[in-house]
Amino acid sequence: MKHAPGSMILGIGAFAPEKVLTNHDLEKIVDTTDAWIRERTGIERRHILEKGKTNSDQAAEAAHRALKDAGLKARELDCIIVATITPDSFFPSTACGVQAKIGATHAAAFDIAAACSGFLYGLALANSLISTGFYKHVLVIGSEVLSRFTDWEDRATCVLFGDGAGAVVVGPSDGKKGILGAYMKSDGRLGHLLSLPGGGATHPATHETIDKRMHFLKMEGREVFKHAVRTMVDAAEHILKETGVHASDVDLLINHQANVRIIDAVAERVEIAHDKIFVNLQDFGNTSAASIPLALDQCRREGRLSEGDKCLLVAFGGGFTWASCLIQF
Ligand code: ACO
């Protein structure tokens, strides 16, 4: 390790909506099969947020749980960062919605849109804000309601995504535990391969944009797959080199949960043993920015994160964006 960590995770919490949609349920909606979805992606079921509930509702629930875990009150937060591409609205931000719902009366609040890399972008930002002494307690949330932006007539995408939220409270390091390094990258030239084209200033909502189904997520799956493996390997290798940690010293690898074939390919290329990879996408599908904090929460509850463990987090998403973070627990 080159530097002592400046910040550490003080608490983790997550929220998964009660309603579950299985692959068999999807067989009744589009021309697909449970076998195709399992073989090509590893996904078996996903959670869907109930009608009437919002992104900030589920984000606030995850936030409450992370604060409880950290032993902190909402009013002790200096900043709330929500990573999401499925916000409550363009503005006000989802983070402001969370701020109001949890009563974080002293906190600044804003969203970041870096798709599936958003949570790691938020964590990198929180690490900087805390390491420089600008803030003491930052709440980072990854929360998505992708079901509301999924084209339920497009079998190539609707089988992939799910809803959920995960949150961490970040605070000053105790000198041993904490964020050893963080890395963020982007390549906007490839943005068209994964996007939601309608509703922005380029294509404001019209009858035509609705007829053309432009308000739903679009993805060139095969192309995205190739870039996902390449960029996540870059992100993992970069952070290991920067922190001086060898791949064999990583205790747990949590990749963005998009496709089990991508997760395996990344682990194989970075040379991280199979038993150190965490996978929960069979139960959640791809929850974009929520996938890593949802996984972190589950790992901790299942005892997969012990004191002293080095955990490598790696993500890739629309933009394109990619990011990594190495944490000592
Ligand atoms: N059920 C049955 N058949 C299907 C389905 C389905 N749900 N979806 C596609 N098919 C068919 C296709 O039509 C195609 O048929 P054809 O050969 O007759 O043309 C065939 O299956 C193969 O399609 P591919 O797209 O080549 O399948 P692939 O093996 O690439 O798997 C997938 C598709 C799962 C989308 C994969 O490409 C993938 O995981 N891509 C990466 C996604 C990702 O990582 N996203 C991360 C970012 S997400 C974010 O940022 C919000």
Which segments of 168-302 does DSSP mark as H helices, in order? 207-211, 221-243, 260-270, 281-284, 291-301
Which residues contact residue 134 at a Cβ distance below 8 angstroms, ignoring those fewer than 6 apart? Answer: none
pLDDT, position 4: 81
Mean pLDDT of 114-142: 98
Identify the band that residue 2 occupies on the pLDDT scale cut at 50, 70 and 90.
Answer: low
- Give per-residue pLDDT as tens, 272-325: 999 999 999 999 999 999 999 999 999 999 999 999 999 999 999 999 999 999
Mean pLDDT of 126-131: 98
DSSP 24-57: HHHHTTSS--HHHHHHHH---EEEEPPTT--HHH
Q: At what angle do helices 55-70 and 94-102 cross, to 10 degrees?
A: 50
196 lines ligand 1 (CB under 6 A): no
Percent of the residues in the chain that have a pLDDT greater than 90, as a whole number: 98
SS3 content of the chain, % helix, strand, coil (to 5): 40, 25, 35
- Give per-residue pLDDT as tens, 21-60: 999 999 999 999 999 999 999 999 999 999 999 999 999 9
262 lines ligand 1 (CB under 6 A): yes
Question: How many Å lie between the centroid of ligand 1 and the Cα of residue 24?
Answer: 18
Specify the residue with its C-alpha closest to ligand 1, atom 30.
Answer: 222
Mean pLDDT of 173-192: 96
Mean pLDDT of 132-156: 98
Q: Is the pTM of this model over 0.85?
A: yes
Mean pLDDT of 96-111: 98
Percent of the residues in the chain that have a pLDDT greater than 70, as a whole number: 99
Mean pLDDT of 205-228: 97
Interatomic CA distance for residues 12 and 141, integer angstroms: 10
The residue type found at 326 is L
pLDDT, position 198: 97
Cβ(182)–Cβ(121) under 8 Å?
no
36 lines ligand 1 (CB under 6 A): yes
Interatomic CA distance for residues 129 and 303, integer angstroms: 29
Cβ(145)–Cβ(163) under 8 Å?
yes
pLDDT, position 182: 97
| Residue 116 annotated in active site | yes
Question: How many Å lie between the centroid of ligand 1 and the Cα of residue 23?
Answer: 15
Domain 180-328: which CATH number of 3.40.50.150, 3.40.47.10, 3.30.70.150, 3.40.220.10: 3.40.47.10
Average pLDDT score, the chain: 97
Atom of ligand 1 nearest to the CA of 228: 44
pLDDT, position 170: 98
Q: Where in the chain is the domain with CATH 3.40.47.10?
A: 7-175, 180-328
Cβ(115)–Cβ(321) under 8 Å?
yes
149 lines ligand 1 (CB under 6 A): no
Catalytic residue (choose from 55, 255, 259, 286) = 286
Atom of ligand 1 nearest to the CA of 288: 51
- Give per-residue pLDDT as tens, 60-88: 999 999 999 999 999 999 999 999 999 99
Q: Does domain 7-175 have CATH number 3.40.47.10?
A: yes
Answer whether residue 1 shows pLDDT above 90: no
319: region left, alpha or beta (phi > 0 left; psi from -120 to 50 alpha): left
Answer whether residue 255 shows pLDDT above 60: yes
